[in-house]
Structure 1
């Protein structure tokens, strides 16, 4: 059994510790939110509603996802390319501690109620400059970790000239490249706009420019969450069910398409905003719709793997393979539920990005329900399923039957809670209920009463979800410290014998990098020039809100 190097395992585990601490605290704040919105609960000790909303969004949307992804990436490259050198590993620890210092700084400001600016930290909402500096440090630390992984990948290529790179490490490089390019937008808005403004060095900033730069980053962030889940689906799930990867080339092409189509689409989050010409909004809507292609390719590849394995086990008929899947294995069941949830989640994403339908649901709690189907169900359940083999592999322990049953219970509770909560969010959104709002502050209007009735359902779902979090945390604690010693596999499937040979063009990062830059230039150059040239600095439609 090929194992992750013990020194590399410590670095990957450090990321898991932070990720699951963020899950607990962020989940608790999510529970408090839905209880407050139900109108049946008030926050104690003077804690503000938007304070817990910010903690929930930042910890689960940024901290949990970034730390889990970087920890998983670290282990994945070590597993498939070999152990890092001492110098590379040192670089990784530097990146981890920079991220952690930044996370701590930002968290302290939120807890002090100096940064209740929500997950998106939009201007004209203003936070303490230390919050923005913390966010910048998280980005810089992640760049250093991506550099460590890239150096090991390059070393493997040098040592194995002419060979196709390990598929899992190739996927990590694609995700890191996308993340690095996308976070340039977040770094730019934080360093050159928000920090100088919050310190008082400048009186005003350009609101529309800051939002455009944020969404240049913000939509790619969604795929940075998602692609580690895709790695698990493509690489680990076939091995867990006893099958093989349907096509190496198809998997690489899907990831390349995600890379090309993840960044030049952020303006579809700004369809209702003035100051951006309709042509550029439409162009980015069209590019957004093309993202359906790699998703459908992935669905085809995965279900082909499931069917081939089922037929190996003697399945007959069109859907006979379905009953032969390992439903009693939490490592498979939770990611599979995540795959199924991505079907309505993806359909909701098409609604969000559609030029006309977006007008109905924009800035309603429908959007929040969509995020909870995609990020909080598809992505997070897959992360959980991966953690159930990754953590024991790194700690030298075993996933026992008792812990496996506990993990299945947590996954089922999560699914039930999310169906109730996300379903109520979608329905309330169609009736116009705004996102981010405490409905109890709307008074006794008929509309507010109707919203709150759905929010009671959200509170029920949110409570079940928090119970699920407690169960999952219990599983993780067992796998870290109490499970029996042993060897748990890091599952990496082989490619099916009949699969076509992988074309080397798919390995050429220069070609895909040039195409990516070209798409970004086409999609963003003219809109940003228009914003800068046509909007007097600091006005952009909100002069009364952003003057100091």
Structure 2
């Protein structure tokens, strides 16, 4: 039996504050994405002196960092409040974290909009932004750390009040995800505080490029799992309730999350396979660890389809795939996340290609990589987030998901799926033809290469336009659910129960010192010697190591 607590009105206001920022970011970032596809198609020129890399930076930062992080932290606060509760002190501290994140977001966004931080989402040196951009990033990360410690304290307090009891599955998952975030952001915080801020202030005249990129990707790849795991939380604990089923296995769910904690962080070198200065042996080690991350995803796929089959058979459906008919295809709370699950099959396959030393050489720095991100984060994760929103927003605001909004949500899901299929598919194909990422293609003029890519650029613009229609529709639905949905009522917070067959969960799964210790050992093993080697073998001015100050 899973204990379910009520979310109080003060807690709901806190969570909704995160949601407001997330959906405002969706609208702004989506517009920037549409403009990018139109520019790349050659059919549109940006007005008012706006630069392509300015909108590219806005798109990447506001969608990849601001939207996702605000939504995830808000959603996780909801899961924690529902499963272990939130005290007044914890809520006040959560508000402090929220406002620090907001200040950081405003600072960074202002610098981008003023054209003083056209350094892209990855902010690679030697591109240099205004110091306030880096200070904004640092404040944003500090705000998220406060959210981490609020979540940690929530579970610790519950454990103290319930000695010997198994922690609620939702709370366990949230803590794992926030551990991944906290450990990984130590890398990006280090490079921002000790490299980029002093460099941008003129305190030093050089920056060690390889160290900065290594610290960024120490964070950059775990970020993908920070995006993904909240979707997994919904798949494991929410979707079974929506389809009328039960959680297949508590132990398997916890094991998959623990494996993500172990294998998601020490893998950043697979983003740096083409870079000199890193010993190939350590690249190989991290590629192996990257492939190991596929294991918890396969466990999740098995668990979810077992859940679907058991729910269908419990309703009397027989045959090999008869249970498939039992799934609630007309319920947008299920349909959107399910399409997200399906998209993760080709998305995961593309991820294995990206991580492979040989195949990565074919697609490295091509728009294939952009297509991959849009298939995973922008489809798998975002469709699941949309599916969550259809019940979470009205639950928090005292509204109802009406049949009309449900139908509108199904239309939005179809529009999103069609638009993303066209755009991401065109990106993948163009990438195989050598089309670069991060480029407006204008530098190629009328070259033979540009002519080969033009059809796929137009397809990207068509897909991007369809997607923006989907964004406008989703924003409209959000406004209706948050402010103007009728009738008012109580929307269920769907939390699934455990199946009757679910066995005991090994107590070792909650030995936090053990699992955090193993994670730290793996990180030290994967990074200590390579970082020492990088620092010791970085002579001033060497290409690939240190660069003079550059401006974006």
Which range, TM-score by smaller chain? over 0.9
Task: Supply the distance in 1 between the matched residues of 2:189 and 2:253 (Cα, whole angstroms).
Answer: 31
Deviations 1:484-541 (A, max 9, x none): 2111111111110111110110011110000000000000001100000011256453
- Contact 1:440/1:452 (CA < 8 Å) preserved in 2? no
Structure 2 counterpart of 1:60: 63
Q: Give the CA RMSD over aligned residues.
A: 1.1
- The offset of 1:361, in angstroms, is 0.2
Residue aligning to 1:228: 230
- 2:88 and 2:547 map into 1 onto residues whose CA distance is 54
Taking the TM superposition and a 5 Å limit, the aligned residue runs for 1:283-298 are 283-298=285-300
2:50 aligns to what? 47
Q: CA deviation at 1:130?
A: 0.4
- Measured after TM superposition, the shift of residue 201 of structure 1 is 0.4
Please say if residues 207 and 538 of structure 1, whose CA atoms lie closer than 8 Å, have aligned partners that are also in contact. no
Q: How does 1:131-280 map to 2 (within 5 A)?
A: 131-280=133-282
* CA 1:395–1:537: 2 relative to 1, 3 Å: farther
Contact 1:284 1:523 in 2 (8 A): yes
Tell me the equivalent position of 2:381.
379
Indicate conservation of the 8 Å contact 2:227/2:377, yes or no: yes
CA contact (8 A) 2:207 2:548 kept: no
Contact 2:236 2:253 in 1 (8 A): yes
Inter-CA distance 511–543: structure 2 relative to 1 (3 Å threshold)? closer
Equivalences for residues 344-493 of structure 1 within 5 A: 344-483=346-485, 484-493=487-496
Provide the C-alpha distance between the structure 2 equivalents of 1:277 and 1:56, rounded to a whole number of angstroms. Answer: 34
Query: What is the number of equivalent residue pairs in this alignment?
Result: 547
Range moving further from structure 2, 279-288 or 149-158: 149-158
Determine the C-alpha separation between the residues in 1 that align with 2:29 and 2:353: 28
The correspondence for 2:73, drawn from 67, 70, 80, is 70
Distance 1:429 1:85 in 2: 50
Whether contact under 8 Å (1:206, 1:539) holds in the other structure is: no
The corresponding residue for 2:522 is 519
**Distance between the aligned counterparts of 1:409 and 1:118, measured in 2?**
33
Aligned mates of 1:202, 1:461 — CA distance in 2: 45
Asked if 1 retains the 8 angstrom alpha-carbon contact of 2:340 and 2:380, the reply is: yes
Which of 30, 37, 40 is residue 40 of structure 2 equivalent to? 37
Q: 1:306 aligned to 293, 305, 308, which one? A: 308
Please state whether the residue corresponding to 1:205 is helix, strand or coil: strand
Q: Is the 8 A contact 1:205 1:538 kept in 2?
A: no
Alignment match, 1:127: 129
Counterpart in the other structure of 1:496: 499
**In the TM superposition, what whole-angstrom CA distance separates every residue of 1:264-283 from its partner, at most 9, and x where no partner exists?**
00000000000000000000
- Deviation per residue, 1:132-191 (Å, 9 max, x gap): 111111100000011112111111100000000000010000000010000000100100
Counterpart CA distance in 2 for 1:475 and 1:193 is 43
Q: Tell me how far 1:546 sits from its aligned partner.
A: 3.8
Counterparts of 1:507 and 1:128, CA distance in 2 = 44
State the distance in 2 between where 1:440 and 1:520 align: 42
Does the CA contact (< 8 Å) of 2:415 and 2:470 recur in 1? Answer: yes
Residues 237, 496 of structure 2: 8 Å contact kept: yes
Q: TM-score, normalised by structure 1?
A: 0.99
- Which residue, out of 19, 23, 34, partners 1:20? 23
Partner Cα distance (1:547, 1:11) in 2: 41
Separation in 1, partners of 2:548, 2:197: 17
SS in 2 for 1:3: coil
Structure-2 residue corresponding to 1:337: 339
**Contact 2:138–2:193 under 8 Å retained in 1:** yes
Task: Please name the residue that 1:11 is paired with.
Answer: 14
Contact 1:38 1:440 in 2 (8 A): no
Structure 2 Cα separation of the partners of residues 544 and 156 of structure 1: 50
Q: Any unmatched runs of 5+ in structure 2?
A: none
Cα distance in structure 2, aligned partners of 1:538 and 1:159: 58
Contact kept in structure 2, 1:364 and 1:433, CA below 8 Å:
yes
Preserved CA contact (<8 Å) 1:207 1:540: no
CA contact (8 A) 1:393 1:489 kept: yes
Matched residue, 1:510: 513
Mind listing any 5+ residue stretches in structure 1 that lack a counterpart? none
Matched residues in 2 for 1:348 and 1:208: separation? 26
Deviations 1:357-380 (A, max 9, x none): 000000000000000000000000
Distance 2:168 2:494 in 1: 14
- Contact 2:540 2:546 survives alignment (8 Å): no
- How far apart are residue 85 of structure 1 and its match? 1.6
Matching residue within 108, 113, 116 for 1:114: 116
Aligned equivalents of 1:208 and 1:72: distance in 2? 35
Any conservation in 1 of the 2:39–2:46 contact (CA below 8 Å)?
Answer: yes
CA distance in 2, matches of 1:227, 1:14: 21
For the structure 1 residues 526 and 544, does the alpha-carbon distance in structure 2 shift closer, same or farther, using more than 3 Å as the test?
closer
CA displacement at 1:396 relative to structure 2: 0.9
Task: Name the CA distance, whole Å, in 2 between partners of 1:424 and 1:498.
Answer: 45
